[in-house]
Structure 1
Amino acid sequence: MARKKIGKQTIEFIDPPSIISTTSIVGPKEGQGPLSQYFDIILEDDLYGEDSWEKAESKMVKEAVKLAAMQGRLHLEDIDYLFAGDLLNQLMSSSFAARDLGMPYFGLFGACSTMAESLSLAAIMIEGGFADYVVATTSSHFSSAERQFRFPLELGNQRPLTSQWTVTGAGAAILAPMRNKGPYITHVTTGKVIDYGITDPNNMGAAMAPAAVDTIKAYFEDTGRSPDEFDLIITGDLGKIGNEIAIDLLKQGGLPINKTLRDCGVEIFDHVRQDTHAGGSGCGCSAVVFCGYLYKLLKENIFRKVLLVSTGALLSPTSIQQGESIPSIAHAVAIEGKLKD
């Protein structure tokens, strides 16, 4: 019998794993945004000393993992498993970083939901007694994503106001057994693929919002908890438009949580001053907002309970060219700064 599964989609940990350290690395534009003070490294050049954007993204992953290990007072050899993912074909950034790091590696693809996916699986690995230390990491890069999914940057194509700006950044979090200090992962809710028929790749917030709503509702139905218990419920990268849609859908579903519902894609940029249109997106969006901003406030007990709901649009260049709609998914991770005695 599955003792730790509650409801239809949620796992409740008996011995909640600890998040012992995190690291966030971001590009220059992210470093000029409202959360700049919370990031560990802000790059002056988004090539990061490399000769391609893809190599720069992979280097961000590698360096984020190394710094997280150092901050956790660990050697790389102490880490049992690496869970990593990105947006590029065949997980190029993650796999090349894993090659250099030399760790047992699980490559994950959940599009921009991958940070919550990696945290979920790392927590299951730790609480199940299969590892002592696991690192969860996710990355994206504006220029590598633009080259793969949209247009050559040299063309200078005009972006519609519904579009979002892919975050250049990588976040890494190291998990360990409960005996370590928190914050702790208490629940994970695995999302389902939701598709409302949106076909516009420049309006991914609208495509992902129903998936976020489905997972948020599943979490509260499975656990019996109230949204009022949380200081913050934060989606991954719905952006300004997707966030507004999610609030409306939650109200229609009888779960009005607009007072605590925020979005990483909205928080990371000043969309007016920085001209990011609907906000941020990309695997690195919820990764750096969590590993930088949210984790630090959880450690300082400014936030006591946070529900991180990373959202992902499961499109590809091939699916868009074939006229397919955009299936989406969201995974939720409940994180508490302290546990009750």
Structure 2
Amino acid sequence: MALKKIGEQTIKFENPPSIVSTATIVGPKEGEGPLKNYFDLILEDDKWGQESWEKCESKMQEEAVKLAISKGNLSEQDIEYLFSGDLLNQITTSSYCARQLGVPYFGLYGACSTMSESLSLGAMIIDGGFADKVACATSSHFSTAERQYRYPLEFGTQRPFSAQWTVTGAGASILSSEGGGPYITYITTGKIIDPGIKDVNNMGAAMAPAAIDTISIHFKDTGHTPDDYDLIITGDLGHVGKDIVVDFMKEQGYDISKVYTDCGIKIFDSKKQDTHAGGSGCGCSAVVFNGYIYNEMLNGNLNKVLLISTGALHSPTMTQQGESIPGIAHAVTISNEK
């Protein structure tokens, strides 16, 4: 019997796992943005001494996990599972990171929803009594994502205003069965929602319906309302997707406008940094959560947060065959109280 499941798609944890430490590494552009003081390490260049952008991204994820472990006063031997993923084919960033760490590994792919996906599965493993300490991580890199999903950088394609800037960054959380919080108290696992968007430069519109669906179901399953949260934040819808979410949530009877924003809006100054609709990528919600949100919770400025990492399950192979771009969104409630 699923004793911890409530409603349609939500789990309420009996023994909420504690997030005992986090770490973030970002690229130079992210380090010039509004959240620069919340990141652990800002790179001076986007290769970090590596031969390629892909190798740089793998190093970023590896070092973020190691740093989170160290900040938690733990060793790599203390970590029983690693849950991580990224945007690249065959999640190579995460697999090569796991190769270096030597930790039992679950490789995940949820596109830009992967941070919430990893937190969800890590929390389930701990609350289920299968482990005491796990690492959850993800990463993205502007240059690796652009040349895989859209065009070679050398092509110099002009970006429309609906386009977003893939975040160069890696974030990691260490979850434990013990600790003083913040705690993961609920998760709501999303369904794939496909609004039929085919424009690879309009990810916000492609993902927004999935966010709307997951947030609505979360409220129905838990009985929570927007007033129960200090912050409701999606992963990387940017300005375009955020406006869609606000409008459609009002139609469903939920005015989230007073407490809602998006990680892709928080991480960049879109006007000064020319990021058009905002940030995107796995690393977007990863560094905003593990940097800004986590530290604001530790300082008591935020006490209860609903993080909804959003993902566009975009395959160039399929979109070139005329297919649309499915969306997914996973919600995680993080609270300073159990």
- Give TM-score scaled by structure 1 length: 0.98
Other-structure match for 2:316: 317
Counterpart check, 1:181 vs 2:216: no
Counterpart for residue 247 of structure 1? 246
Task: For residue 62 of structure 2, give the secondary structure of its aligned residue in structure 1.
Answer: helix
Residues 183 and 336 in structure 2, CA contact (< 8 A), matched pair in contact too: yes
What is the match of residue 266 of structure 1?
265
Distance 1:330 1:274 in 2: 27
Letter in 2 for 1:274: Q
- The percent of aligned pairs where both chains have the same amino acid is 66
Q: Does 1:51 align with 2:46?
A: no
Q: How far is the alpha carbon of 1:212 from its aligned partner?
A: 0.3
Which residue is 1:219 aligned to?
A: 218
Q: How far apart are the structure 2 equivalents of 1:14 and 1:131?
A: 15
Question: Does the CA contact (< 8 Å) of 2:65 and 2:137 recur in 1?
Answer: yes
Tell me, in whole angstroms, the C-alpha distance in 1 between the residues paired with 2:155 and 2:323.
25
Q: TM-score, normalised by structure 2?
A: 0.99
> C-alpha displacement at 1:256, in angstroms?
1.2
Q: Which residue of 1 aligns with 2:21?
A: 21
Which AA in structure 2 matches 1:220? F
On the 8 A contact 2:225/2:254 being kept in 1, the answer is: no
Alpha-carbon distance in 1 for matches of 2:13, 2:298: 20
Could you list the runs of 5+ residues in structure 1 that have no partner in the other structure?
Answer: none
Name structure 2 gaps, 5 residues minimum. none
Aligned ranges for residues 183-332 of structure 1 at < 5 Å?
183-332=182-331
Q: Which amino acid in structure 1 is aligned with residue 97 of structure 2?
A: A
**Is 1:159 matched up with 2:174?**
no
Q: Which residue of 2 aligns with 1:104?
A: 104
| Cα deviation, residue 319, structure 1 | 1.2
* Alignment check: 8 A CA contact 2:122 2:175 kept: yes
Q: Output the CA distance in 2 between the equivalents of 1:338 and 1:14.
A: 13
Query: How far off is 1:338 after superposition?
Result: 2.6
After superposition, the CA RMSD in angstroms is: 0.6
Deviation at 1:155, TM superposition (A): 1.5
SS of residue matched to 2:209: helix
> 1:125 & 1:62 partners in 2: Cα distance?
22
- For residue 192 of structure 1, what is the amino acid of its counterpart? K
Query: For the residues of structure 1 that align with 2:156 and 2:200, how far apart are their CA atoms?
Result: 17
Cα distance in structure 2, aligned partners of 1:322 and 1:301: 50
Q: Distance in 1 between matches of 2:25 and 2:238?
A: 21
Distance 2:44 2:180 in 1: 34
Contact 2:205 2:237 survives alignment (8 Å): yes
CA distance in structure 1 between the aligned counterparts of 2:147 and 2:197, rounded to whole angstroms: 22
SS in structure 2 at match of 1:3: coil
Deviation at 1:66? 0.5
Q: CA deviation at 1:320?
A: 1.3
Count of residue correspondences: 338
Query: 2: distance between equivalents of 1:248 and 1:25?
Result: 34
Q: Which amino acid aligns with 1:115?
A: M
